[in-house]
Amino acid sequence: MSAATVLQERKPSAGGVNRTFLWIEIKRMLRNRRTIMFTVFMPAVFFFIFGLSNKDKLLPNGHSYGQYILISLTVYAAMTAATGAGSQVAVERAQGWSRQLRLTPLLPGAYIAVKAMAALTLSLVAVVAQFVIGALAGVTMDAQTWLTAGLVAWLGSLVFAALGLFVGYLMPSQNVMQILGPALAILAMLGGLFMPIEIMGETFGNIAKFTPAYGIGQLARSPITGEFDWAWIVNVLIWLAIFVAGAAMAFRRDTKRV
């Protein structure tokens, strides 16, 4: 039997993506109490601080403040969940788990795909949790708005899953969340997730357009604003490409050390 044949036989189907591996990844994330706290409880606290007392007020453009801030903080919850899930690779590297996986036939692309799917699972939990909290607090929206805003927040979190992977391959495990936590809060603030862009002033409004949270937030809120701009999609795709490219480069550099 030739070496090529042996190598071919060792290659797993779908590169190693399977339900067992995915389920292991999901369970590992859900057992992390810190991740759950930042995913579910912190955005809920922000909603009660920033949105609950003003939920019945209207913005200068006539849009509901309660709807605006709920959708915005749902985007924040999803991006925090996805980033946290992706950054767990730093812990895995420190524990030697990544090294063990690279000794198996698992392909690098499959490893990244499983990480992305696990991150999407956690961000879905975050989206549902924030919407339930908002609905119980009295924020009302039609079914199409709930669905569209939720889907955008959920799928848009892939941008931040890639960010988490990127930073997770660059930083040691003891520092990754200490850096990412404040960084995400700053990105959310600059992207108009903590307060409406309309009341941030022209300077901050112009800065917001170049931040990774801006495009996702604008698209998620489009069902209530009735506005759409292709620049928002371009914003999302550019930042996704940047973070994916960064994660791929960091992954290859990390692999060469083994």
pLDDT in tens, 182-218: 888 899 989 988 877 777 778 888 888 999 999 999 9
Tokens linked to 247: 């994660």
Q: Does 94 map to a domain?
A: yes
Tokens linked to 160: 């931040």
Report pLDDT for 176: 72
Q: Does 81 map to a domain?
A: yes
Task: Please give the mean pLDDT across all residues of the chain.
Answer: 79
Residues in the chain: 258
pLDDT above 80 (res 126): yes
Range(s) of the domain holding residue 128: 17-256
pLDDT in tens, 37-85: 767 777 777 777 766 666 777 776 677 888 888 999 999 999 988 888 8
pLDDT above 80 (res 174): no
What pTM, to 2 d.p., does this model score?
A: 0.83
Q: Does 4 map to a domain?
A: no
Tokens linked to 216: 């996702």
Q: Does 122 map to a domain?
A: yes
pLDDT in tens, 14-37: 445 566 667 777 777 777 676 677
> Using 50, 70 and 90 to split pLDDT, how confident is the model at 8?
very low
Query: 3-class SS at 61?
Result: coil
pLDDT in tens, 215-255: 999 999 999 988 899 999 999 999 999 998 888 787 777 65
Q: CA of 216: how far to CAs of 2, 85, 148, in Å? A: 50, 19, 12
Tokens linked to 172: 């040691």
Q: Does 10 map to a domain?
A: no
Q: Does 159 map to a domain?
A: yes
Tokens linked to 199: 């009341």
Q: How far is CA 183 from the centre of its chain?
A: 13
Q: Does 162 map to a domain?
A: yes
- Angle, helices 212-225/230-256, rounded to nearest 10 degrees: 150
Q: How many domains does the chain fold into?
A: 1
- Is-contact 16 107, C-beta < 8 A? yes
Nearest Cα neighbor of 127 from 162, 75, 84 is 75
Q: Does 2 map to a domain?
A: no
Report pLDDT for 3: 41
